[in-house]
Chain A
């Protein structure tokens, strides 16, 4: 009985592992370019979070007007650059 169980398990595992090599992919995996886009998206998300956090810190009185303006300006410039990169990538992907 144990031998039968082991044989069935072994056959099942081999079939499981080998199947993608012999069967055509039903749903193609996304291209590696998607990883680059996602990296920019995530960096943009972090940048937008940072802008909101700086804004809330200013409202909460944790940042002086002068510091707020300097930090906010730099972070917005970074976000705009990232949006530019994201849009360029999207345009490249569409064409």
Chain B
């Protein structure tokens, strides 16, 4: 079996190499048969990589402990679900997953472009398969998932208990789909530069790929945060860990691209900037993969020491150097069609939004890399704490929240002061009302940014709901639809715009919830004997008895806590601790009571034989709205990416009595 896996990867390497050569040669010679052969080369890469992935899963499911990855990341007692997810528990396995997803994406690109983008496709294939050459060569010659061990152990070490979690089953693949998906816009951008087809065609072709990749990255980041919240037991969900930052950076730059691309489509501006953004997004996706595999930074999520860093660094240098050199030679062809007419216009707002997002990405990059830079310059590794990131992210997050509300209300090209006054009247009144609770809770001055987030959250919510209302009213005014129908028509007529607004609603929810949690959460430690009670932040916790259990895999202790507030009992929580025998690893089983206004989050620190339970309690306000906001963002992205039905040929709607509908 291992031989089949190794051979499949070697064949994938050969097929990818062939596809690159055939695609580029087909462009040079204009031979369609050669391009068709290159496309089949992409299929060959998909078939062989699928064969390798399936082989690895069979090895995991049949407990083949002669394979190093199976012995290292699985064992006989591991359930079949975790045996499947053990594929991405190891370094080579996770690279195999990356490569397999890349082959799926490449096949989708080939299939969806069979009758379009024929000029671009040879270069697109060359870029995607060039990336595949890198990954298959790493998997074939440097770190094979099919490497064997001798002597063969009787049982494996098992999967890290922290990874045996529903969120970890889906978080890495979703993140990888996001990373891999971003290679498509990059490939089309490079193809547009190479072929000098710098019109809007490539943008249209990558729009959905970018939104879909962004959606998967968002989901992956959210699930990773949820995993950290429920599994790591420190009361938080985001620690500005290098690997968390590695996922955030491409997300920030991709978000900037999704906004600035609209400026190019509508106004023919920011064409160079968009190229820079898409190159940076893909480079940062590779950088994230490099960070988790180089071993240069320690992280709870990283794969530890390895020699892969140098190879990934070389790839990043080639991608970055090659892309920018190509871009430089095409600068004259990328001049903007128009210029900024006013600093108060939709395109100007998008520009500010871009500067903030890219600025934040740069700050995160700087903070993440500072330990390495300080070691190189000063010979001493200086780690940047959460304080730095929070100090930078808080004002930028608040400013972005403001632009999230303002952007949709400002028209393209220019806005007159009279119109601005009329449009922002109601949101400003609502923001003024929100100042009252914001300043009551944030009066000590330490929480100014939380107060600002609440006020601007109210303002932005009013702006967005106002936009929905005005859009509905306009459709309803046409007289042929009900209010509900008008609401639905907003999405069928302009999915991208209103899907985007739904994403913005999610952003409001997430930023306000993050601000509230950061500013107003309370923490307390209690030591309670059986029957004893103690208070934290107005909640009373009573120890109602502990339990100890053990089986073949783990020993568990847990304590039952009655939780009550002034109004009586609100929850029964059972935090616990598991100690996994195979790995001798401890894992907290956090207990959380969730309500719309707060989470009561309890961690069992220890339970003595005489029943003394030491617990840590966190009262986290508004936590639920981080996850709800994430769900809303993903839903909005799905709406925006959903294909619209279009008439095959349309004429310009008449200016007088235009009903806003396309006509045949």
**Which chain B residues in 93-150 approach chain A with CB under 8 Å?**
114-120
A45 cross-chain contacts in B, Cβ below 8 A: 646, 650
Given the known A-B contacts A13-B15, A52-B493, A52-B662, are A25 and B44 also in contact in the complex, defined by CB atoms under 8 Å? no
Provide the B1-25 mask, 1 if CB < 8 A to any CB of A, else 0. Answer: 1011001100100010010000000
Could you tell me if B419 and A53 are in contact, using CB atoms closer than 8 angstroms?
no
A86 nearest CB across to chain B (Å): 9
Q: Which of A3, A9, A71 makes the CB contact (< 8 A) with B411?
A: A71
B119 cross-chain contacts in A, Cβ below 8 A: 32, 35
Which residue of B is nearest A72, CB measured? B655
With the chains together, A75 CA to B197 CA distance in Å? 23
Provide the A18-50 mask, 1 if CB < 8 A to any CB of B, else 0. Answer: 111100010011111011001100111110111
With the chains together, A52 CA to B266 CA distance in Å? 13
B419 cross-chain contacts in A, Cβ below 8 A: 62-64, 67
Could you tell me if B118 and A17 are in contact, using CB atoms closer than 8 angstroms?
no
Q: Which of B117, B422, B494, B661 makes the CB contact (< 8 A) with A35?
A: B117
Given the known A-B contacts A38-B201, A52-B493, A53-B497, are A9 and B11 also in contact in the complex, defined by CB atoms under 8 Å? yes
Given the known A-B contacts A51-B652, A64-B416, A71-B412, are A20 and B118 also in contact in the complex, defined by CB atoms under 8 Å? no
A59 cross-chain contacts in B, Cβ below 8 A: 474, 477, 660
A71 nearest CB across to chain B (Å): 6
Q: Which of B11, B474, B650 makes the CB contact (< 8 A) with A56?
A: B474
Interface centre among A16, A17, A56, A59 (most CB of B within 10 A): A17
A91 cross-chain contacts in B, Cβ below 8 A: none
A30 cross-chain contacts in B, Cβ below 8 A: 115, 118
Could you tell me if B51 and A9 are in contact, using CB atoms closer than 8 angstroms?
yes
A27 nearest CB across to chain B (Å): 10
Q: Which of B8, B41, B470 makes the CB contact (< 8 A) with A61?
A: B470
Could you tell me if A64 and B418 are in contact, using CB atoms closer than 8 angstroms?
yes
Which residue of B is nearest A68, CB measured? B411
CB of A80 closer than 8 Å to a CB of B = yes
CB of B535 closer than 8 Å to a CB of A = no
Could you tell me if A17 and B18 are in contact, using CB atoms closer than 8 angstroms?
yes
With the chains together, A43 CA to B655 CA distance in Å? 20
Number of interface residues of B (CB under 8 A): 66
Q: How many residues of A sit at the interface, in one of the four size bands?
A: 35 or more
CB of B423 closer than 8 Å to a CB of A = yes
B16 nearest CB across to chain A (Å): 12
Given the known A-B contacts A55-B660, A64-B419, are A38 and B116 also in contact in the complex, defined by CB atoms under 8 Å? yes
B466 nearest CB across to chain A (Å): 10
Given the known A-B contacts A17-B18, A20-B36, A48-B652, are A60 and B474 also in contact in the complex, defined by CB atoms under 8 Å? yes
With the chains together, A41 CA to B416 CA distance in Å? 33
Could you tell me if B652 and A62 are in contact, using CB atoms closer than 8 angstroms?
no
Describe B's contact surface by its main secondary structure.
helix
Q: Which of A2, A56, A62, A66 makes the CB contact (< 8 A) with B409?
A: A62
Could you tell me if A71 and B32 are in contact, using CB atoms closer than 8 angstroms?
no
**Which chain A residues in 58-95 approach chain B with CB under 8 Å?**
59-64, 66-67, 70-72, 76, 79-80, 83
Could you tell me if A35 and B470 are in contact, using CB atoms closer than 8 angstroms?
no
Could you tell me if A17 and B40 are in contact, using CB atoms closer than 8 angstroms?
yes
Could you tell me if A48 and B653 are in contact, using CB atoms closer than 8 angstroms?
yes
B655 nearest CB across to chain A (Å): 6
A29 nearest CB across to chain B (Å): 5
B605 nearest CB across to chain A (Å): 52
CB of B236 closer than 8 Å to a CB of A = no
Could you tell me if B650 and A48 are in contact, using CB atoms closer than 8 angstroms?
yes
Could you tell me if A10 and B412 are in contact, using CB atoms closer than 8 angstroms?
no
Could you tell me if B471 and A56 are in contact, using CB atoms closer than 8 angstroms?
yes
A83 cross-chain contacts in B, Cβ below 8 A: 651-652
Given the known A-B contacts A30-B115, A39-B199, A42-B200, are A52 and B660 also in contact in the complex, defined by CB atoms under 8 Å? yes
With the chains together, A67 CA to B569 CA distance in Å? 60
With the chains together, A60 CA to B422 CA distance in Å? 12
A31 cross-chain contacts in B, Cβ below 8 A: 118
With the chains together, A87 CA to B62 CA distance in Å? 63
Given the known A-B contacts A39-B200, A45-B650, A67-B416, are A21 and B474 also in contact in the complex, defined by CB atoms under 8 Å? no
Which residue of A is nearest B659, CB measured? A55
Q: Which of B35, B37, B265, B646 makes the CB contact (< 8 A) with A18?
A: B37
B116 cross-chain contacts in A, Cβ below 8 A: 34-35, 38
Residues of A whose CB lies within 8 Å of any CB of B are 2-3, 5-6, 9-10, 13, 16-21, 25, 28-32, 34-35, 38-39, 42-46, 48-53, 55-57, 59-64, 66-67, 70-72, 76, 79-80, 83
Residues of B whose CB lies within 8 Å of any CB of A are 1, 3-4, 7-8, 11, 15, 18, 32-37, 40-41, 43-44, 47-48, 51, 114-120, 197, 199-201, 204, 265-266, 409, 411-416, 418-419, 422-423, 467, 470-471, 473-475, 477, 493-494, 497, 646, 650-653, 655, 658, 660-662
Q: Which 10 A-B pairs have the closest CB atoms?
A: A20-B36, A60-B470, A59-B474, A60-B474, A39-B201, A6-B7, A2-B3, A13-B44, A20-B37, A79-B652
18 CB-based A-B contacts, threshold 8 Å? A2-B3, A9-B48, A21-B33, A29-B36, A31-B118, A34-B116, A35-B116, A35-B201, A39-B197, A43-B200, A45-B650, A52-B661, A52-B662, A56-B494, A56-B660, A59-B474, A62-B419, A71-B412
Q: A20-B36, A56-B471, A56-B660 are in contact. List 6 more A-B contacts (CB 8 A).
A: A21-B37, A46-B266, A52-B493, A52-B662, A63-B419, A67-B419
